[in-house]
Amino acid sequence: MNTEPRLVLELEDILAELHAARRTGDLGRLVLLSYFQLRRWARAAGHQILASRTSDLFLACPFGSRDDLLVGLDALIDEAERARARYEASAASVAAA
């Protein structure tokens, strides 16, 4: 896991934008952020599983409904949140040492 401060800040920005788009129901923005921004971040940070899941979600098109797509997007957001939590835990352990 790459823990460069720049990558941590980028992830926080992406998550803030994802949550705002989800809250307002902006499906186009959610797709754009997930496929292009989150996937790019995951590759740069060395999170190949997250990058792969992002690609797989969109390659599995078409979706049966809007709700099916939102379930997949919510899972990606949850996984990105877990990555952020791991970064915070890692930073806390370094600071404590």
Tokens 């990555």 correspond to 83
Instruction: Please list, in sequence order, all residues whose beta carbon lies within 8 angstroms of the beta carbon of residue 39, skipping any fewer than 6 positions away.
Output: 50, 51, 54, 55
- What is the DSSP code (8-state) at residue 73? H
pLDDT at 1: 55
pLDDT at 87: 83
pLDDT at 3: 63
Q: Which range of residues forms the domain containing residue 55?
A: 5-96
Q: How many separate domains does the chain show?
A: 1
CB atoms under 10 Å from CB of 5, counted, come to: 9
CB atoms under 10 Å from CB of 38, counted, come to: 29
**Tens-of-pLDDT digits for all 97 residues of the chain?**
566 788 889 999 999 999 999 999 999 999 999 999 999 999 999 999 999 999 999 887 788 899 999 999 999 999 999 999 988 887 777 666 6
